[in-house]
């Protein structure tokens, strides 16, 4: 009669247990959570809700991701930090990314844009109506102000060329002083993101209907705005985590578009002193002008068109006077985007 010794039984049981636990750990439901560090382009203001809502609603967690979202201090800094490896992903102006690529051709870890969020640049020129400025032509000979790193200021040569604007002089200042100097009359006009500067002007006592806003996209400047960028390192080592992040982000975007008021509560949770009504307005302005825009609905959320991208690369090379020409093929990849159905987030007009 065949018999199994106690020692042999115990050994077999251990092997079986290890095999089962190994299979469980390798199955999708037991996949290890991936930690990702994400850098915003700016402080915790209205548009930050785009990335905080998926966190608050557990969409990142459902995707087996542990995402840390940190505030930023400008797109240039975000690009640099992702390039350095301090962050895996970030949110940055595409022109800043192009500039980094062209000025650092030998950099080993140049970030890549993987999802377009602001289909149009939010940059605009803003002036008070009492200045007499109504059109781009009225800027000739005027004094403009903006921080030296401001995206609108950096791209102003493109705006100027498209609208025959000449002989402007620039005053540089800290971002916190830009709108104050405009309201005081120290400068004639400023450049800035519409949804940031317009509301900051209002906060300094000037009504919105007293402000002239010359939005770059309305005056022949079809630059793309902010995109999700990623380090080549994370794209190589864990492409599935990046895809999961973008999928969770797109899911959260639907919620933000549906209920901006609720979305702002995620921003308040990160910065308790924000002015909630003001940030709701800021978020809605961003949604209406650069996210759910005619160009975005035409091209599709998250995506870019090759001819437009190539034109922007050429314009940035000229306006930013880069060391080398921007190669559009090296700064963008659609390989990590969710499916067309998952990217169908924009409300139909």
Domain residue ranges of the chain, discontinuous segments joined by +: 33-120+224-330, 123-219
Alpha carbons 285 and 199: distance in angstroms, whole number:
10
pLDDT at 9 over 70: no
Q: Give residue 213's region: left, alpha or beta (phi > 0; psi -120 to 50).
A: beta
Mean local confidence (pLDDT), 100-122 = 96
pLDDT at 137 over 50: yes
pLDDT at 28 over 50: no
CATH class of the domain at 33-120+224-330: alpha beta
Question: Mean pLDDT score of the chain, rounded to an integer?
Answer: 92
- pTM of the complete model: 0.88
pLDDT at 123 over 60: yes
User: Would the CATH topology of 33-120+224-330 be identical to that of 123-219?
Assistant: yes
Q: What is the pLDDT of residue 149?
A: 86
∠ CA 146-229-109, nearest 5°, is 100
Where is average pLDDT lowest: 72-76, 86-90, 107-111, 280-284? 72-76
Q: What is the pLDDT of residues 219-269, one digit of tens each?
A: 999 999 999 999 999 999 999 999 999 999 999 999 999 999 999 999 999
Reported as a pLDDT band with limits 50, 70 and 90, residue 199 is very high
Q: What is the pLDDT of residue 310?
A: 97
CATH superfamily of the 123-219 domain: Periplasmic binding protein-like II (3.40.190.10)
């Amino acid at each position: 009669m065949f018999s199994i010794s106690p020692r042999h039984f115990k050994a077999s049981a251990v092997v079986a247990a290890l095999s089962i636990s190994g299979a469980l750990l390798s199955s999708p439901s037991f996949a290890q959570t991936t930690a990702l560090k994400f850098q915003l382009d700016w402080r915790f203001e209205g548009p930050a809700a785009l990335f905080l809502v998926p966190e608050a609603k557990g969409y990142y967690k459902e995707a087996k991701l542990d995402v840390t979202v940190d505030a930023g201090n400008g797109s240039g800094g975000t690009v640099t930090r992702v390039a350095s490896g301090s962050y895996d992903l970030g949110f940055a102006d595409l022109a800043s990314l192009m500039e980094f690529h062209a000025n650092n051709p030998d950099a080993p870890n140049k970030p890549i844009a993987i999802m377009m969020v602001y289909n149009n640049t939010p940059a605009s020129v803003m002036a008070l109506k009492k200045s007499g400025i109504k059109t781009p032509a009225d800027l000739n000979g005027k004094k403009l102000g903006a921080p030296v790193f401001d995206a609108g200021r950096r791209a102003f040569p493109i705006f100027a060329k498209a609208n025959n604007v000449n002989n402007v002089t620039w005053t540089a200042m800290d971002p916190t002083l830009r709108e104050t100097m405009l309201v005081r009359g120290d400068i004639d006009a400023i450049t800035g993101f519409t949804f940031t500067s317009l509301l900051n002007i209002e906060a300094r006592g000037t009504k919105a209907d007293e402000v002239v806003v010359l939005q770059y996209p309305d005056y022949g400047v079809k630059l793309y705005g902010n995109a999700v960028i990623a380090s080549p390192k994370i794209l190589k080592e864990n492409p599935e985590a990046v895809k999961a992040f973008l999928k969770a982000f797109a899911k959260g975007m639907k919620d933000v578009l549906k209920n901006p008021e609720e979305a702002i509560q995620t921003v308040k949770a990160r910065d308790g002193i924000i002015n909630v009504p003001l940030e709701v307005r800021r978020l809605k302005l961003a949604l209406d002008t650069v996210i759910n825009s005619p160009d975005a609905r035409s091209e599709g959320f998250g995506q870019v068109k090759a001819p437009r991208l190539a034109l922007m690369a050429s314009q940035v090379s000229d306006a930013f006077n880069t060391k080398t020409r921007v190669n559009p093929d090296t700064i963008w990849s659609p390989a990590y985007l969710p499916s067309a159905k998952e990217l169908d987030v924009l409300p139909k007009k």
